[in-house]
Amino acid sequence: MKLLIVEDEKALADSISSYLQQENFVCEIAPSYTRALARIEESDYDCILLDINLQDGNGLELLKTLKSNHKTDGVLIISARNSLEDKVSGLHLGADDYLPKPFHLSELGARVAAIIRRRHSAGSNFIRLEDILVDIQARSVTVKGRSLDLTRKEYQLLLYFAYNKGRVVSKNAIAEHLWGDDTGGADNYDFIYTHIKNLRRKLVEAGAGDYIQSVYGMGYKLMIP
């Protein structure tokens, strides 16, 4: 999988790149509008992470160029201007998703994975985690052929871990993923703990391995041995 990170903030681009590389993505960084334009013309990417506010141009123009050249690259807009107009015009121009800054890398990872899954393996609505099978279309989970009864939040959690397989996902990132911008504070961690405890119990009882590990109480990780 090949990704292009169009971001003029080097520190952020580096973070994104090193996080996504762990998922075996090949990441290229374009720190400016002109560099990005050159890259886009040279090759195709599975997903382009596009910052709108670039020093030498608007990311949306890049998106227009992309679409007028009939490129099929997936596009995830990342913007510091969390404005509805940017979001609407971005999606209207053919972007797949919109993520306002600041974001958690795990959230970015999940969004990128979702875009690639939709674009790349067209028709494949399943994610396999060893003996666990997630049907994204039906929003259902089966373990060894037996369907599992999960609550909405447990399902969301499992999918989130699956998209960030092998990496530690912080409790803060989980809270934001489950409750949006909600500011539950420390309370949220208790809810997360309960939901994850229930999810693990259900998976183990169904005969799956206990893949979700707690990392020092500050996050969780889904590890497939």
Partner 1 sequence: MKLFTRYSRINILASILALLLGSIGYYFMIRGILIHELDDALKVEEAEILSHVQTLDQLPEPSSYRDQQISFAPAATPIRRQFINITRFEHHRHDEWQPYRQLLFPVTVKGRGYTVTVTKSEEETEDLLEWIMLVTAGMILVLLGTLFMANRLLLRRIWQPFYQTLEGLRRFDLSKRESIIHTPTTIEEFRNLQTVVEQMTEKIRKDYEMLRDFTDNASHEMQTPLAIINSKLDLMIQDQQLEEKHHRQLQAMYDAVGRLRTLNQSLLLLTKIENNQFAQAAPVALEVLIEKKLIQLEDPIRVKHLTINADVQPCELRMNAYLTDILLNNLLGNAIRHNCDRGSLDIVLRQEFLQISNTGAPLSFDPATIFDRFTKGGHSEGTGLGLAIVKQICDNYGYVLTYSHKEGLHVLRIQFKSAAVGTGRPSEFRQNAVLGLSHE
Give me the residues that bind partner 1 (CB under 8 A), please. 9, 11-12, 15-16, 18-19, 22, 80-84, 100-106, 139, 149-153, 167-168, 170-173, 176, 179, 181-187, 190-191, 194, 215-219
Complex with partner 1: residue 127 or 164, whichever CB lies closer: 164
Q: Hey, which bits of the chain come out as E strands?
A: 2-6, 26-30, 47-51, 53-54, 57-58, 74-79, 97-100, 126-129, 132-135, 140-143, 146-148, 169-170, 212-215, 219-222
Complex with partner 1: residue 121 or 194, whichever CB lies closer: 194
Question: Is 52 in contact with 90 (CB distance < 8 Å)?
Answer: yes
Handedness of CA 156, 199, 108, 96 (dihedral sign): negative
Complex with partner 1: residue 22 or 43, whichever CB lies closer: 22
Complex with partner 1: residue 66 or 99, whichever CB lies closer: 99
CB atoms within 10 A of CB 206: 17
Considering only the C-alpha atoms of the chain, give the largest distance between any 2 of them, rounded to a whole number of Å. 56
Complex with partner 1: residue 65 or 170, whichever CB lies closer: 170
Distance of alpha carbon 50 from alpha carbon 214, whole angstroms: 33
Which of these, 92, 133, 96, lies nearest to 113 by C-alpha position? 96
Complex with partner 1: residue 65 or 198, whichever CB lies closer: 198
Handedness of CA 36, 77, 220, 188 (dihedral sign): positive
Rounded to a whole number of angstroms, the minimum distance from the CB of residue 173 to partner 1 is: 7
Question: Is 72 in contact with 95 (CB distance < 8 Å)?
Answer: no
Rounded to a whole number of angstroms, the minimum distance from the CB of residue 87 to partner 1 is: 11
Rounded to a whole number of angstroms, the minimum distance from the CB of residue 67 to partner 1 is: 25
Rounded to a whole number of angstroms, the minimum distance from the CB of residue 217 to partner 1 is: 7
Rounded to a whole number of angstroms, the minimum distance from the CB of residue 205 to partner 1 is: 17
Rounded to a whole number of angstroms, the minimum distance from the CB of residue 161 to partner 1 is: 14
Distance of alpha carbon 99 from alpha carbon 102, whole angstroms: 9
